Amino acid sequence: MKDLTQGKEAKLILHFATPMLLGNIFQQLYNIVDSIIVGNVLGKQALAAVGASFPVIFTVISLLIGVASGTTIVIAQYFGARKLEEVKKAMDTFYIFAFFASIIMSVLGIFFSGDLFHLLKLPEEVLPQAKTYLHIILAGIIIFFGFNGTNAILRGLGDSKTPLYFQIAATIVNIGLDILFVMVFGWGIAGAAIATVTAQAGALVTAIWYLNKYHSLIRITLFGMKFDRDIFRKSLRIGLPTGFQQTFVALGMMALMGIVNTFGTDVIAAYSVAGRIDSLVMLPAMNFAAALATFVGQNLGAGKPERVRHGLISTIWMSSIISLTITLIVQIFPSQLMGLFTKDASVIAIGRQYLIIVSAFYIVFSAMFSISGVMRGAGDTLVPMFITLFALWFIRIPAAWLLSRHLGVVGIWWAVPMGMFTGFLLSFLYYLTGKYRNKVIVKRG
């Protein structure tokens, strides 16, 4: 557990963010390894199937992700205020909620998956493999939330190293199982999905054993947990705006996927690969922002608001330097990055075009996330929700639809930075008002 209320802000945030970043890089390797093996062994139709499944998966889990983020902020603020009994209650409440909610969402997702794919106009040659992959992943959603929820709780307590170790182990197992199930056993796209679920299940069991045996605060058992309605309401107040934001973002991703799907399998596969690369290269900005949110939560909970501004400036500097470095790499080697996933020349050319356009705006994305991290850490998630939804539904999606009619698929790619810039500008203007300071849930004294 790490106290972020004492010491140099930049050093604290960097040290806290680094293990979290490494852990999430390994987490993304789940999806990346799946895509690399699927694309090179099973072909571009299977690669398109994996890519088409992701927006549906994200839609199913997005609301639960929001509640989990709310719980993390509640835990961070209680821990900053040294209210350890409330920390334990918040953890119990999250696990009980996640157990029942994940079962419900898994069943609903599997039941309606076919209708969703037809609504998105997924090409018929991609549909069977997409349904197979999606159903297996959704069947393991409860494992996903058990594992990632535990890691999120640890980060709320200021412990970003233990989740890293769990994630590294899970990723190594997943890579091995991918090779075994897909390349050796020949299980096809189902093997890639089974590998992911199995690896996370093993990591969850290991995490529960380790924490129960060695961690001073966390004890995870099937019996004895208590659901606290008051803490749950606080988590919902913070988490539901983020959850609704994630849900509408997921629906927006599905709408964009529907536009992409009309251009055929090559474009779907290229968009899938480019999205995997995007998800990896944007991780530094997202993890620095997550570290900043915990930093802000602890310091506001401890009654030290003056440290928040210094933390934000430090985070923007660090994440901007990393973003510019990544942009340079992507701009120089776009075809080589695409070539890791597929040897199809058409898919590589389309994806290369996407990466050149979007990577030029990574620094805007990093600044936007840093500012949002301050608001999330304070518990102010409602306004960021509206900003995100406006940038997506009123800028990016309409621009993608309109520009694609005149410029073809490149119009969809240009719509991405248009949404990023809008989100950054609105977030910055709201931050300047300082209203986020009034949303802190833990009062000193």
8 Å CB contact between 366 and 284: yes
How many residues comprise the chain? 445
For 174-188, how does the pLDDT look when each residue is reduced to its tens digit (9 = 90+)? 889 999 999 999 999
Q: Which residues contact 401 (CB under 8 A, 6 or more apart)?
A: 259
Location of structure tokens 């970003």:
160
Q: pLDDT tens track of the chain, all 445 residues?
A: 567 778 888 888 888 888 878 877 877 777 787 788 999 999 999 989 988 888 888 877 877 777 777 777 788 778 777 787 888 888 888 888 888 888 998 998 899 888 888 888 888 889 999 999 999 999 999 998 888 788 877 777 777 778 878 888 888 898 899 999 999 999 999 999 999 899 989 988 888 888 788 776 667 777 778 888 888 888 888 777 777 777 888 888 889 999 999 999 999 999 989 988 888 888 888 889 988 988 888 888 777 888 888 889 999 999 999 999 999 999 999 999 999 999 999 999 999 999 999 999 999 999 999 998 888 888 777 788 789 889 999 999 999 999 999 999 999 999 999 999 999 999 999 988 888 777 665 555 4
Q: Which of 394, 96, 389, 131 is nearest to 247 (CA)?
A: 389
Q: What is the CA radius of gyration of the chain?
A: 21
Q: How far apart (Å, rounded) are the C-alpha atoms in residues 425 and 368?
A: 8
Around Cβ 395, how many Cβ atoms within 10 Å? 17
Around Cβ 45, how many Cβ atoms within 10 Å? 19
